[in-house]
Every structure is written in C-alpha cells, then in structure tokens.
Amino acid sequence: MSDLFAALSNPRPREDIADGAVLLHGFFRNTEAALIADLRAIVQQAPFRHMVTPGGHTMSVAMTNCGAKGWVTDRSGYRYDAHDPDSGKPWPAMPASFADLAMRAAEQGGFQNFAPQACLINRYRPGAKMSLHQDRDELDLGAPIVSVSLGLPATFLFGGLQRADRPQKFRLEHGDIAVSGGPARLAFHGIAPLADGDHPVMGPQRINLTFRKVQ
C-alpha cells in the first residue's frame, strides 16, 4: 500500500509493503513496560549524543547503542565498534526483552533464527529526520533489519534500490515494528521530519530501536 492516507483508513496487524518487507502494527504493546524500563537503564549508562557524519554534518537524530557492538560515525567514517567512543567502555549489554522482541518480530516477518548483535537507538525530537539511506555497514546482508517504534508517530519513507526511486509513505505508531530483509534488505528508507506532539508514555519524542546482525 503506497498511499499514507489509505494505510491510515485500513489498518492491519500485518502490512506487507514490499517483497521482503513488512510492518507489524502494535506488535510489542503487550511487553512495552519491560522494554521501556530496559531502554531507560541503557540510556543512563550510555546517554544519547548527536554524532557527526564523515562530511562534518551533525545528525539531527540523537543516538546510542546496546549489544556486542554499536554503530558510530565521525570524521573517519561509519563503522561498528565494541566500545562507546564517549566513555571508552563497552556498550551496555542487550537486554533479554530487546533480543526476544527482535527475534519474534523477525520470525513473524518470515526470517528464522535472527540473532541481533547490535541495537541502534535513535531519538527523534520534533523536526528531526533521517534522510533516505541504505543500511550497508553490516558484513552479513543476508540477515534482516528489525526496527521498533516508540513514542510519537512518524512518517516512514520506504523506497527502492536506487536513491532516485520515489519512496512510499507509511505511518509508524508506538508499538509498530518494521522488518526488512531479502530483496528489500538494501532498500532506501528514512523518516520525514517529526511533527510536534507529546506521547502519553514517551513524551515529546520518538525512539527507534534498530536491531542488526553485524557479522
């Protein structure tokens, strides 16, 4: 379904958006309390920060990580690293609530035996966005990416394998999960600028948990 308003008028628990890509609406709502508690503990250990791209651009989205490795960017490039560059310490371990949710969502999306090694945690404030990009810093491109939405609703942009392909638009709400792999693993995707709002649980922000197998 390529039209945002059509998607809003016909909500479904599972929405296939491309070959290898699916949206699971409201998938984690039954376990959100444990998930959010673990998220807050991670952020206490490794606070959000605005990273800088190799080109010198400060990202509007604040980031942190958990798991065996974390994704980082600075003037030297994009990469995964086992240590938080701000503290020099290993990233916080991935909680069981995170790993279990990612594995269950991947299975629901058609990908068995997904074992995430990294969870990128993105914080969007109103106005923050994520430009169209591909996730290609991982060595194992055969594993899917599982992306969990918490907080304010966002407009998810999902394109094709070329940057110039016109993206489809989908609404992501608190509890929704996007799973992409197979033919859709390298699809360009992003988030439109976040609208103002105040979520009853998460406040004036959107948090995105992105689970990946790195190696």
> Running DSSP on this structure, what letter comes out for residue 159?
-
> The whole model's pTM is what?
0.92
Distance CA 161, CA 155 (A): 19
Structure tokens at 32: 């959100």
Distance CA 201, CA 168 (A): 28
Asked whether 123 and 76 are in contact (CB, 8 A), the reply is no
Asked whether 196 and 160 are in contact (CB, 8 A), the reply is no
Residue 100 vs residues 86, 96, 116, 175, 194: alpha-carbon distances, Å: 28, 6, 10, 15, 28
Q: What is the pLDDT of residue 12?
A: 66
Task: For residue 66, list its beta bridge partners.
Answer: 119
Q: What is the pLDDT of residue 3?
A: 41
Q: What is the pLDDT of residue 80?
A: 96
> Running DSSP on this structure, what letter comes out for residue 165?
S
Asked whether 161 and 180 are in contact (CB, 8 A), the reply is no
More confident residue, 128 or 11: 128
Sign of the torsion formed by the C-alpha atoms of 145, 33, 173 and 195: negative
The mean pLDDT of 75-97, rounded to a whole number, is 96
Would you call 207 exposed, middle or buried from its count of C-beta atoms within 10 A (0-12, 13-18, 19+)? buried
Asked whether 45 and 87 are in contact (CB, 8 A), the reply is no
Fold of the domain spanning 4-212: Jelly Rolls (2.60.120)
The mean pLDDT of 106-121, rounded to a whole number, is 97
Across the chain, mean pLDDT equals 93
Structure tokens at 161: 């394998």
Give percent above pLDDT 70 in the chain: 94
> Running DSSP on this structure, what letter comes out for residue 193?
P
Q: What is the pLDDT of residue 148?
A: 97
Please give the backbone phi and psi of residue 189, each rounded to the nearest 5 degrees, phi first.
-155, 165
The mean pLDDT of 24-36, rounded to a whole number, is 88
The mean pLDDT of 145-158, rounded to a whole number, is 98
Asked whether 53 and 101 are in contact (CB, 8 A), the reply is no
Q: Please, what is the Cα angle at 94 between 212 and 179, to 5 degrees? A: 30
Confidence of residue 11 (pLDDT cuts 50, 70, 90): low
Indicate whether 169 pLDDT > 80.
yes
- pLDDT tens-digit profile of 170-197? 999 999 999 999 999 999 999 999 999 9
